[in-house]
């Protein structure tokens, strides 16, 4: 899902000399118009006919892309699972446990698209502490009426995705685990069967403060989630 750390995670992958992850290729609607266009697009990637800044001149041991769940993946999952099994595609699921933090990131990113506080430029990801500090100043107001239904929907979508692709060669990762324990990156390399390397990213985290300092109507949000299955989201990661 968007704002779950996938861009950050992909920079780690692409720092490996033998991995080429070609970004969010299905963000372009015409590439996901129907199952045929989806499969043709994937054929280009896996036949090594897709060239981006991530493409390596060295030996590619693993090549792939980033695919958001709302970009035709869920609607066409049966055909995609068959394709993955036939081409022996390895799937890495990356989710975020704290869906409230993800919501803050989604709203902040939407605000940045509209206002562009960084010299009139929209930046989904930052590469300096100064940029991160500027973007983190915005404190979104969360609609508490739709808060629980939205959290439930995100949770159900993640569970459904894992169920759909359970018979593929896959691994499930969580943003929080990667953030706290970089040895998880070693597990990823073992999963992809590539030589072990120290991976790195130049991206800088935007929202580092407690949620109470990042949400404008924090008290309302707190009252809404207390006593619910989502109460733990109020605490630190």
CATH code for the domain in which residue 34 is found:
3.40.50
Q: How confident is the prediction for the chain on average, in pLDDT?
A: 93
% the chain with pLDDT above 90? 78
Tell me, yes or no, whether 28 lies in a domain.
yes
Interval 8-28 mean pLDDT: 96
Give the integer Cα–Cα distance in Å for 230 and 151.
8
Over residues 41-67, the mean pLDDT reads 89
* C-alpha to C-alpha distance for 127 and 116, rounded to whole angstroms: 16
**Is residue 56, in this structure, part of any structural domain at all?**
yes
Note whether residue 204 is domain-resident: yes
Q: What is the pLDDT of residue 36?
A: 98
- This prediction's pTM: 0.90
| Dist. CA 110–CA 103, nearest whole Å | 11
- Whether 182 has a pLDDT exceeding 60, the answer reads yes
Nearest to 170 by CA among 49, 33, 77: 77
Number of domains forming the structure of the chain? 1
| Structure token digits, residue 229 | 């299955």
Does residue 51 register a pLDDT over 80? yes
In whole angstroms, give the CA distance from residue 61 to residue 71. Answer: 26
Q: Average of pLDDT values for 19-45?
A: 96
Q: Which residues in the chain belong to E strands, given as ranges?
A: 19-21, 62-64, 90-95, 169-174
**Residue 1: inside a domain:** no
Cα–Cα dist 112/11, whole Å:
22
Mean pLDDT across 65-88: 97
29-57 mean pLDDT? 92
CA 116 to chain centre: 22
pLDDT for 14 beyond 70: yes
**Containing domain of residue 202, as a range?**
6-234
**Residue 153 and residue 149: Cα distance in Å, rounded?**
6
Please tell me the predicted confidence (pLDDT) of residue 237. Answer: 56
* Residue-by-residue DSSP string for 98-123: -HHHHHHHHHHHHHHHHH-TBTTB--
Angle among Cα 27, 41, 87 to the nearest 5 degrees reads 120
Q: Over 80: is that where the pLDDT of 123 sits? A: no
Could you give the count of Cα atoms lying within 13 Å of 64 in the half-sphere of its Cβ?
18
Q: Would you say residue 14 lies in a domain?
A: yes
Average pLDDT of the segment spanning 138-155: 97
């Amino acid at each position: 899902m968007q704002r779950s750390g996938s861009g950050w995670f992909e920079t780690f992958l692409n720092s490996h000399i033998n991995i080429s992850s070609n970004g969010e290729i299905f963000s372009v609607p015409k590439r996901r118009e129907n199952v045929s266009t989806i499969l043709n697009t994937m054929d280009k990637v896996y036949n090594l006919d897709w060239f981006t800044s991530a493409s390596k001149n060295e030996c590619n041991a693993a090549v792939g892309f980033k695919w958001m769940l709302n970009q035709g993946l869920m609607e066409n999952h049966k055909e995609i699972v068959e394709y993955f099994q036939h081409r022996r595609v390895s799937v890495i699921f990356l989710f975020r446990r704290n869906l409230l933090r993800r919501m803050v990131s989604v709203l902040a990113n939407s605000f940045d698209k509209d206002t562009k506080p960084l010299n009139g430029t929209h930046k989904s990801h930052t590469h300096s502490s100064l940029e991160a500090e500027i973007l983190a100043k915005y404190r979104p107001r969360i609609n508490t009426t739709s808060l629980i239904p939205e959290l439930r929907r995100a949770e159900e979508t993640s569970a459904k995705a894992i169920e759909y692709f359970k018979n593929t060669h896959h691994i499930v990762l969580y943003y929080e685990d990667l953030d706290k324990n970089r040895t998880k990156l070693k597990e990823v390399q073992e999963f992809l069967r590539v030589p072990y390397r120290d991976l790195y990213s130049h991206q800088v985290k935007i929202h580092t403060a407690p949620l109470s300092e990042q949400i404008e109507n924090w008290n309302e949000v707190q009252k809404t989630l207390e006593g619910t299955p989502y109460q733990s989201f109020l605490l630190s990661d």
